[in-house]
Structure 1
Amino acid sequence: MKLQPLIETLIGTEPPIAVRAYDGSVVGPADAPATLVVNSPDALRRMITSPGELGMARAYVAGDIDIEGDIYAVIRMRDRLPPLSAQLRFAAQATRLLGVRNLRPLEPPEQEARLRGRRHSKARDAAAVSHHYDVGNEFYRLFLGPSMTYSCALFENPRDGLEAAQARKYELICQKLGLRPGMRLLDVGCGWGGMAIHAARHHGVSAVGVTLSAEQAEAGQKLVADNGLTGQVEIRLQDYRDVTDGPYDAISSIGMFEHVGLSKLQEYFRRLVSLLGSDARLLNHAISRPRTTKPRLERNSFINRYVFPDGELHEVGTVISALQNAGAEARHMESLRPHYALTLRHWVANLESNWSEALDLVGAARARVWRLYMAGSAVNFETNRTQVHQVLATRTIAGSRPHALPLRPDWSPAPPVP
Structure 2
Amino acid sequence: MADAAGRLAALVERATGSPLPLRVRAWDGSEAGPPPAPGAPLVVIRDRRALRRVLYKPGELGLARAWVAGEIDIEGDLYAALDALAGSIWERDDPAGGAGRDGVVGKALRGLSAARSLGDASVRAMLREAVALAGPGLPPPPPAEEVRRTAGPRHTLSRDRRAISHHYDVGNAFYERVLGPSMVYSCAYWEKPGGTLEDAQASKLDLICRKLGLREGMRLLDVGCGWGSMVLHAARHHGVTAVGVTLSTEQAAFARERIAREGLADRIEIRVQDYREVADGPFDAISSIGMAEHVGSAQYLAYAGTLYGLLVPGGRLLNHQIARRPMDDESGYEVDAFIDAYVFPDGELAPVGTTVSLLERAGFEARDVEALREHYALTLRAWVANLEDHWAEAIRLTTPGRARVWRLYMAASALAFEHNRIGVNQILAVRPERDGGSGLPATRAAWLAAPEGG
Instruction: Give TM class, smaller chain.
Output: over 0.9
Please, which of 257, 262, 279 is the counterpart of residue 292 of structure 2?
A: 257
Q: Which residue of 2 aligns with 1:352?
A: 388
Asked if the contact 2:177–2:390 (Cα under 8 Å) also holds between the matched residues in 1, the reply is: yes
Whether 2:108 is the aligned partner of 1:107: answer no
Q: Which residue of 2 aligns with 1:184?
A: 219
CA distance in 1, matches of 2:259, 2:127: 55
Q: Which residue of 2 aligns with 1:21?
A: 26
Structure 1 pair 412/77, CA: closer, same or farther in 2 (3 Å)? Answer: same
CA distance in 1, matches of 2:192, 2:7: 45
> Which stretch shifts more, 76-85 or 129-138?
76-85
Whether 2:79 is the aligned partner of 1:45: answer no
Asked if the contact 2:317–2:428 (Cα under 8 Å) also holds between the matched residues in 1, the reply is: yes
CA distance in 2, matches of 1:286, 1:318: 12
Q: CA deviation at 1:97?
A: 2.8
Please, which of 385, 390, 402 is the counterpart of residue 366 of structure 1?
A: 402
Q: Which residue of 2 aligns with 1:376?
A: 412
After TM superposition, the structure 1 = structure 2 runs for residues 51-70 of structure 1, keeping only pairs within 5 Å, are: 51-70=58-77
Under a length normalisation based on structure 1, what TM-score does the superposition of the two structures give? 0.93
CA distance in 1, matches of 2:233, 2:219: 13
**1:373 aligned counterpart, secondary structure:** helix
Q: Which residue of 2 aligns with 1:193?
A: 228
Under a length normalisation based on structure 2, what TM-score does the superposition of the two structures give? 0.85
Structure 1 pair 83/302, CA: closer, same or farther in 2 (3 Å)? Answer: closer
Q: CA deviation at 1:112?
A: 0.4
Q: CA deviation at 1:24?
A: 2.0
Q: CA deviation at 1:65?
A: 1.1
In the TM superposition, what whole-angstrom CA distance separates every residue of 1:57-105 from its partner, at most 9, and x where no partner exists?
1101111112222111221123342846765466553223345xx2523
Q: State, as a whole percentage, how many aligned pairs show the same letter.
A: 53
Whether 2:37 is the aligned partner of 1:2: answer no
In the TM superposition, what whole-angstrom CA distance separates every residue of 1:205-242 from its partner, at most 9, and x where no partner exists?
00110000000000000011111111111111111111
> Which stretch shifts more, 89-98 or 302-311?
89-98
CA distance in 1, matches of 2:427, 2:87: 35
CA distance in 1, matches of 2:331, 2:285: 28
In the TM superposition, what whole-angstrom CA distance separates every residue of 1:273-293 from its partner, at most 9, and x where no partner exists?
101012210110011111128
Structure 1 pair 289/224, CA: closer, same or farther in 2 (3 Å)? Answer: same
Please, which of 323, 329, 341 is the counterpart of residue 359 of structure 2?
A: 323
Asked if the contact 1:296–1:311 (Cα under 8 Å) also holds between the matched residues in 2, the reply is: no
Q: CA deviation at 1:6?
A: 1.4
CA distance in 1, matches of 2:359, 2:272: 25
The letter for the 2-side match of 1:112 is: E
After TM superposition, the structure 1 = structure 2 runs for residues 8-407 of structure 1, keeping only pairs within 5 Å, are: 8-10=10-12, 15=21, 17-27=22-32, 28=34, 29-81=36-88, 83=104, 88=112, 93-98=129-134, 102-116=136-150, 117-292=152-327, 298=334, 301-397=337-433, 399-400=435-436, 402-407=437-442
Asked if the contact 2:217–2:240 (Cα under 8 Å) also holds between the matched residues in 1, the reply is: yes
CA distance in 1, matches of 2:148, 2:245: 25
> Which stretch shifts more, 266-275 or 84-93?
84-93
The letter for the 2-side match of 1:135 is: V
CA distance in 2, matches of 1:132, 1:150: 12
CA distance in 1, matches of 2:179, 2:336: 28
CA distance in 1, matches of 2:200, 2:336: 34
In the TM superposition, what whole-angstrom CA distance separates every residue of 1:342-389 from its partner, at most 9, and x where no partner exists?
100000010001001011111211110111111111111111111111
CA distance in 1, matches of 2:86, 2:263: 50
CA distance in 1, matches of 2:190, 2:127: 44
CA distance in 2, matches of 1:107, 1:390: 40
Structure 1 pair 299/342, CA: closer, same or farther in 2 (3 Å)? Answer: closer
Asked if the contact 1:95–1:103 (Cα under 8 Å) also holds between the matched residues in 2, the reply is: no
Alignment gaps of 5+ in structure 2 = 89-102, 113-122, 450-454
CA distance in 1, matches of 2:193, 2:140: 43
In the TM superposition, what whole-angstrom CA distance separates every residue of 1:102-128 from its partner, at most 9, and x where no partner exists?
252320001100132321000000000
Asked if the contact 1:18–1:30 (Cα under 8 Å) also holds between the matched residues in 2, the reply is: no
> Which stretch shifts more, 34-43 or 209-218?
34-43
**1:312 aligned counterpart, secondary structure:** coil
Q: CA deviation at 1:156?
A: 2.1
CA distance in 2, matches of 1:340, 1:235: 27
CA distance in 2, matches of 1:365, 1:23: 23
Asked if the contact 2:218–2:240 (Cα under 8 Å) also holds between the matched residues in 1, the reply is: yes
Asked if the contact 2:23–2:43 (Cα under 8 Å) also holds between the matched residues in 1, the reply is: yes
**1:245 aligned counterpart, secondary structure:** coil
CA distance in 2, matches of 1:296, 1:289: 13
Asked if the contact 1:251–1:283 (Cα under 8 Å) also holds between the matched residues in 2, the reply is: yes
Alignment gaps of 5+ in structure 1 = 414-418
The letter for the 1-side match of 2:396 is: D
Q: Which residue of 2 aligns with 1:416?
A: none
Q: CA deviation at 1:8?
A: 4.9
Q: CA deviation at 1:190?
A: 0.3
Asked if the contact 1:54–1:300 (Cα under 8 Å) also holds between the matched residues in 2, the reply is: no
Q: CA deviation at 1:322?
A: 0.9
CA distance in 1, matches of 2:413, 2:37: 28
Q: CA deviation at 1:305?
A: 0.4
